[in-house]
Chain A
Amino acid sequence: MTQPVFWGLVGMALVVMGLYALIVHAHLLRKVLALNVMSSGVFLVFIGLARRAPVEGSAPAVDPVPQAMVLTGIVVAVAATGLALALIVRLRSLTGRTFLGGDKGD
């Protein structure tokens, strides 16, 4: 097993574990954390698989395009996490709940 494949597999494992936690836990903070674990897994897959680029002379065998995409992805994930946390705080201050559902007729 080569290094890129190993990190790809680890990343996929993180994605699947995050997805499991996302479904199992009702608490919204845990859901946000699970989504963050999932996105870390995706980033790891991208970073790992970026190392599959062909070696050319002395140039490093890393594809910079997936790396740049991960950098973009990290910022988007942080922004989305901030927004999600603000929404959770708002939900709790309005209803006292930190999980979805529980309204009348739910």
Chain B
Amino acid sequence: MAEPPNKDGGGRRTVPDRTKTPGSVPAHRALPAAARALLALLMLGLFGGLAMAVLSLSEPAPGLAAAVAEHLAASGVDHPVTAVLLNFRGYDTLLEMVVLLLALVGVWSVGRARGCAGHAPGPLLRQLPRLLAPLMVLVAGYLLWVGAHAPGGAFQAGSLLGGVGILLCLSGQPLPRWADGPVLRLAALLGVAVFALLGVAVVLLPDGAPLAWPPALAKHLILTIELAAMLSIGVILAALFTGGRP
């Protein structure tokens, strides 16, 4: 990425002008009151149109609930949302993992991580991870497992793991040196890689198609993918929080 030359001698990061209020927006950029009022009227009209659209919807709706319930037995899981996410609409979830990865690549290409702790963490925050982190990891594992038959799953579990990462970062816990290197990149990639590899591998089975899990193997395949996805989501969310590449 080409960086524009900095005025103050090519340092990596330009020191912002501290004489101005940080992030202040000049007054002339604000919309005049008349324009705001006009805009508010416009938005009211827009809301009216949208509300009419909602009110004109038929009820009960011709949704896909019946179709999902009909094929739930062949999906390998007992919870309809998990079945839709990882079986019936697997492409959505695969590409969603790709979006997460792309966002991470985008954030990493924008700048370096500046560390989470802007100020020294207090005694409470320093001790909190010792108490909470193991519990959060445990709950993440539970959520992953319970997702097969009740609300839960890889995304809920992954966001909890991401929370563990953020908590550790905020409390100033030093991470082991290896955690910043290839291990971090591999962990971020794991979800997409496992999902895509398994999704392609099932083509080799008799009358296989991409991402079409055979019912006999579906439970194991979905659990494997969810495990990898959980790890990747947790790592990516925590890495996004640090705001740059390590």
* Bind each other: yes
Chain A interface residues toward B at CB < 8 A: 2, 4-5, 8-9, 12-13, 15-17, 19-20, 23-24, 26-27, 29, 45, 49-50, 52-56, 59, 61-69, 71-72, 74-76, 78-80, 82-83, 85-87, 89-90, 92-94, 96, 98-99, 101-102
Interface of A is mostly: helix
Q: Evaluate contact between A79 and B99: CB separation under 8 angstroms.
A: yes
Q: Evaluate contact between A71 and B39: CB separation under 8 angstroms.
A: no
Q: Evaluate contact between A23 and B39: CB separation under 8 angstroms.
A: yes
Interface of B is mostly: helix
Q: Evaluate contact between B51 and A9: CB separation under 8 angstroms.
A: yes
A105 to chain B: closest CB distance in Å? Answer: 16
Q: Evaluate contact between A93 and B13: CB separation under 8 angstroms.
A: yes
Interface residue from B30, B236, B243 paired with A89 (Cβ < 8 Å):
B243
**In the assembly, what is the distance between CA of A36 and CA of B138, in Å?**
30
Q: Given the interface contacts A65-B89, A90-B110, does A72 sit within 8 Å of B39 by beta carbon? A: no
B-side contacts of A9, CB under 8 Å: 51, 54-55
Q: A52-B60, A72-B93, A98-B25 are in contact. List 15 more A-B contacts (CB 8 A).
A: A9-B55, A20-B39, A27-B25, A54-B66, A63-B61, A65-B63, A66-B63, A72-B85, A79-B99, A80-B103, A82-B243, A87-B110, A96-B16, A96-B20, A99-B25
B11 to chain A: closest CB distance in Å? Answer: 10
Q: Evaluate contact between B65 and A59: CB separation under 8 angstroms.
A: yes
Q: Evaluate contact between A71 and B57: CB separation under 8 angstroms.
A: no
Query: Can you name 12 A-B pairs with beta carbons within 8 Å?
Result: A2-B59, A12-B51, A16-B46, A24-B39, A53-B61, A56-B69, A59-B65, A64-B68, A66-B63, A75-B155, A82-B241, A99-B29
Interface residue from A5, A27, A56, A101 paired with B23 (Cβ < 8 Å):
A27
A-side contacts of B155, CB under 8 Å: 71, 74-75
B-side contacts of A13, CB under 8 Å: 47
**In the assembly, what is the distance between CA of A15 and CA of B46, in Å?**
10
Q: Evaluate contact between B103 and A82: CB separation under 8 angstroms.
A: yes
With both beta carbons as reference points, the residue of chain B lying nearest to A88 in the complex is identified as B23
B-side contacts of A19, CB under 8 Å: 43, 46
**In the assembly, what is the distance between CA of A26 and CA of B30, in Å?**
7
* B100 close to A (CB within 8 Å): yes
Q: Evaluate contact between B85 and A71: CB separation under 8 angstroms.
A: yes
Q: Given the interface contacts A61-B65, A68-B81, A93-B13, does A5 sit within 8 Å of B55 by beta carbon? A: yes
**In the assembly, what is the distance between CA of A96 and CA of B63, in Å?**
50
Q: Evaluate contact between A16 and B50: CB separation under 8 angstroms.
A: yes
